[in-house]
Amino acid sequence: MDFLADYASFLAKTVTLVIAIVVVLVAVAASRSKGRGKAAGQLQVTRLNDFYKGLRDRLEGSLLDKARLKALRKEQAKARKKDKKAPQDKPRVYVLDFNGDIKASATESLRHEITALLSLASDKDEVVLRLESGGGLVHSYGLASSQLARIRQAGIPLTICIDKVAASGGYMMACIGNRIISAPFAILGSIGVVAQLPNVNRLLKKHDIDFEVLTAGEYKRTLTVFGENTEKGREKFQQDLEVTHQLFKGFVASYRPQLSIEEVATGEVWLGMAALDKQLVDELKTSDEYLADKAKDADVFHLHYAQRKSLQQKVGMAAAISLDGVLARVWERLSQQRFWS
């Protein structure tokens, strides 16, 4: 009992202290953010040629003897001097990343990256998107796809690289590319639409709980979680899914007319090797291999628009870290108490 009392007192004091600190930080954050707009971000540009060169230099330094390494460095220095005297007008490759969640949250950064590169890129350049997404909300991935369509409309070649997965909304984005390159075992396809929701109406009725759904408009609500669903509502809901599916198929077919759309738009997925046979992709290769080859003859730049966190977000992260620390100390004390006893 003494242990429980000590533990409860320790926990109460610690939690109270953390809450007090968080309240003060939130108040400070709120006061400082008054009158400010949304936190701006920053475009980060990395030259991947330098990255690949650094890897090669490191390996050469480890494997070659001093004499051979010295001779190689002299030869490379001469080549650099020659390039400076007669610089070549190399094409540029702009590399973007899209790691999709159900809401396609990465679209916020993608739109700024595309706006930036379109201000400078020409039809002699190329955009490479490393895409990873299993899909999500229709309207969210519709917007992400529309951002990629801006590149096609500008006449700039767009290559989509898929190392792991581009399914459903992810493939909606991928199909916009002039070329789609996939790793052999990446997952592709799922050209279909799905919606699911539970219904607890019978459970509510069992416990004599009424739930009213009032609408203005015959189809304002079709299926609900709490209300009693009707066959007419189900038919309308299914009809809406079919309409969305037809739009999805038409969108994919417009960018990849070589597809047998009815054959691939069944909601199925295929691994890269099978997807190549279905013409869902154009080539089997990893993004690393593709970009390393490009870096031999072009200047390759990675673009990333980093969103700046607001003060409130930073405070929230600090609070989460503090809470983790509290729980760790509580667990440590609890473990020690058990050990000592």
Which pair of structure tokens corresponds to residue 249?
């198929």
On the CB side of 115, how many CA atoms lie within 13 Å of its CA?
Answer: 9
CATH number assigned to the domain with residue range 41-190+268-307, chosen from the 4 options 2.60.40.420, 3.90.226.10, 3.20.20.70, 3.40.640.10: 3.90.226.10
Residue 310: what pLDDT?
A: 61
Count Cα neighbours of 99 within 13 Å in the Cβ-side half-sphere: 1
> For the chain, which residues make up each domain, given as ranges?
2-37+310-340, 41-190+268-307, 194-252
From 168, 182, 190, 287, active-site residue:
168
pLDDT given at position 272: 96
Question: What is d(CA 189, CA 312) in angstroms, rounded to the nearest whole number?
Answer: 40
Q: How far is it, in rounded angstroms, from Cα 167 to Cα 85?
A: 48
Residue 80 neighbours by CB distance under 10 Å: 10
Q: Are 309 and 40 in contact (CB under 8 A)?
A: no
Q: How would you write 179-217 as a 3-class SS string?
A: EEEECCCCEEECCCCCCCCCCCHHHHHHCCCCCCCCCCC
Q: What is the Cα–Cα distance from 222 to 232, expressed in whole angstroms?
A: 8
| 168 labelled catalytic | yes
The tokens for 71 are 């001779």
220 flagged as catalytic:
yes
pLDDT at 307: 81
Distance of CA 154 to the CA centre of its chain: 24
Q: What was the pLDDT predicted at 220?
A: 87
Q: Which of 84, 206, 220, 296 is catalytic?
A: 220
pLDDT score of 338: 45
Tens of pLDDT along the chain (341 residues)? 565 566 566 666 666 766 766 666 666 555 555 555 455 789 999 999 999 888 888 888 888 888 888 888 888 787 777 666 666 678 999 999 999 999 999 999 999 999 999 999 999 999 999 999 999 999 999 999 999 999 999 999 999 999 999 999 999 999 999 999 999 999 999 999 999 889 999 999 899 998 888 889 988 888 889 988 899 999 999 999 999 999 999 999 999 999 999 999 999 999 999 999 999 999 999 999 999 999 999 999 999 999 876 655 555 656 556 666 666 665 565 555 544 43
Give the span between the Cα atoms of 174 and 135, in whole angstroms: 11
In angstroms, the Cα distances linking 33 to 215, 315, 320 are 40, 12, 20
pTM of this structure: 0.76
State residue 101's pLDDT score: 95
